[in-house]
Structure formats: C-alpha cells, structure tokens
C-alpha cells in the first residue's frame, strides 16, 4: 500500500468526519430552534437539508430574528459562519448612531456617519467603534449605566455586537459562532437581552434632552471656530502692520541716503 494512497485515505476520512460532524450540529440546531420557536410562537423556517434554520417573531414586547450570517475573510476561499440574533427596540431616537465591534464595524461604517467618538464613561476598547451624526446627542445617550451593559455585550467571547439607531429604526444585534443548538442556551441569551434592553431604551422626555445636547455641542463648536477665526484675523492684521512698518523704514533709509540711489543717466 503506497504512501500516497494512505495520505488520500486519511484526508478523505478527515473530510468525511468534519462533514458528518457539521451535519450533526446542524440537525441539533434545527431541533433546538424548532422547539424554541414552538414554545414562544415564533415563525420557524427549517431551510434545506444542509442549510441553517431561521426563526422570527415577538418575545415579550420585542421583535426577534435568528438567522445564519457568513463573512468573507480576505478572499472567497475563507469565510466565517455565525449565528445572528437581532432585536428591535421601541424608542424613537432623534439622531443616528452606531456602537459596533468585529465585522459589524464595516456595516456601521456603511451608514456614512461623519463623527467617530469615544464614550465618556467606562473603559473603552479602541478596536470597537462609535459613530454618529450628532456628537452631543451620542455622548449624552451613552450614560455610565448604559455603557456598563454595552461593554458587557462587547466582551462576549468570540462574538460581535452592534447597537444602532437610524431612520427611526433602533436595533441590537449579536453575531456568535455558537450554533445555539440547545434550547436552554437560546433561552438564557434571550432572557439576558430582555433584562438589559430597558436600560438602553430612551426614558420619558429623553429624546428632547438629546436634541438639546446636540444643539449645545454644535453651538460650542461654532464658538470655537469663531474664536479661531478671530485669532487668525488678528494675526493677519499684525502681519500687515509689520509689513507697512518695514516698507516705511526702507523708504526713510532711501531718502536719508540719496547718493546710494542710481541716477537716471546711469
């Protein structure tokens, strides 16, 4: 028996093992999701034999979606499969903003928001990102209590997090490599989300306060620009005065030393 045949046999058995294991996990996932969907009255979509399932519906007061997500890593030959959990919050946030980690940063950047900021509260990991169209509003929204919750989800092992509000849509999303193939795991995650999101919702009257915060920040920025403009104008006037003094000094020197000036005949 040749070495090449043994190598081929080993690789074939390895591929068959991984394929079989993947199908086994997939069937466990489908069974778990179907049971969870039945318990909470969600819409369940099994998909094809080798496709991941999906489910969606309302749990408590919130709309949930569970679905597969796949990300290309560098080139089409390398990808990462994740389980995405999306939760729609109820508040109407009066500005656009995103807090994101991992591959979900690219999705948040696609919104074209011009300001990147750092939260004022809690320890911040610079590998994550905060984007907004209104700096003052976003800083006011990211309170210490909210940042404690956000940072906890950002630190979820091997997972990516996104909290976003745009065009009256308020969304929380978690992408995890865990296939969630156990109803207890799904239930624990959903329960924790339902405990945390009330803090992320806007309080009564907070929308108006966030708009005021944006106005104050914009006014402060305008004042800073105005002050800078005044400084620049002052410097320009000083330079003009200096040039005029130098010109007058040169003219006086010429008048005091006429012999040094070339005559018309020369």
Residue 250's pLDDT is 57
Is residue 253, in this structure, part of any structural domain at all?
no
Exposed e or buried b per residue across 146-183, where buried means at least 16 C-beta atoms within 10 angstroms of its C-beta:
bbebbbebbeeeebbbbbbbbeeebbbbbbbebbbbbb
**Average pLDDT along the chain:** 84
256 falls within a domain: no
Domain for residue 132, yes or no?
yes
Residue 225 has pLDDT above 50, yes or no: no
Please check whether residue 1 lies inside any domain of the structure. Answer: no
Instruction: List, for residues 248-259, the tens digit of each pLDDT value.
Output: 555 555 455 554
Domain interval for residue 80: 8-211
pLDDT of amino acid 73:
76
Pick the more confident residue, 262 or 160: 160
Residue 238 lies in a domain: no
Q: Residue 93: pLDDT band by 50, 70, 90 thresholds?
A: very high
How far is the CA of 37 from the CAs of 5, 86, 143, in angstroms?
Answer: 47, 15, 35
Q: Is 261 part of any domain?
A: no
- Residue, of 262 and 242, whose pLDDT is higher: 242
pLDDT band per the 50, 70, 90 thresholds, residue 215: confident
Confidence (pLDDT) at 266: 37
| Count of structural domains within the chain | 1
172 vs 6: which has the higher pLDDT: 172
Residue 205 lies in a domain: yes
Q: Which two tokens stand for residue 238?
A: 């000083």
Per-residue pLDDT, 182: 94
pLDDT of residue 243: 60
21: Cβ contacts below 8 Å, ≥ 6 apart? none
- Assigned domain for 183 exists: yes
């Amino acid at each position: 028996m040749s070495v090449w045949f043994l190598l081929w046999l080993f690789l074939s058995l390895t591929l068959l093992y991984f394929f079989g294991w993947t199908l086994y996990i997939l069937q466990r996932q489908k069974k778990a999701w179907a049971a969870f969907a039945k318990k909470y009255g969600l819409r369940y979509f099994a998909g094809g034999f080798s496709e991941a399932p999906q489910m969606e519906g309302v749990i408590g007061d919130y709309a949930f979606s569970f679905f597969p997500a796949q990300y290309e890593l560098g080139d089409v030959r390398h990808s990462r499969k994740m389980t995405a959990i999306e939760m729609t919050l109820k508040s109407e946030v009066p500005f656009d903003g995103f807090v994101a980690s991992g591959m979900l940063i690219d999705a948040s950047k696609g919104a074209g928001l011009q300001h990147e900021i750092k939260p004022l509260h809690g320890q911040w990991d610079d590998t994550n990102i905060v984007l907004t169209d209104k700096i003052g509003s976003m800083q006011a929204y990211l309170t210490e209590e909210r940042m404690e919750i956000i940072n906890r989800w950002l630190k979820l092992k091997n997972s990516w997090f996104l909290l976003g509000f745009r065009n009256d849509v308020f969304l929380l999303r978690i992408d995890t490599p865990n296939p969630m193939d156990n109803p207890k795991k799904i239930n624990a995650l959903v329960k924790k989300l339902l405990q945390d999101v009330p803090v992320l919702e806007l309080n009564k009257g907070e929308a108006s306060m966030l708009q005021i915060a944006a106005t104050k920040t914009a006014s402060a920025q305008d004042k800073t620009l105005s002050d800078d403009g005044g400084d620049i104008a002052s410097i320009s006037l000083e330079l003009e005065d200096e040039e005029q003094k130098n010109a007058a000094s040169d003219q006086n020197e010429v008048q005091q030393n006429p012999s040094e000036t070339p005559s018309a005949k020369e």
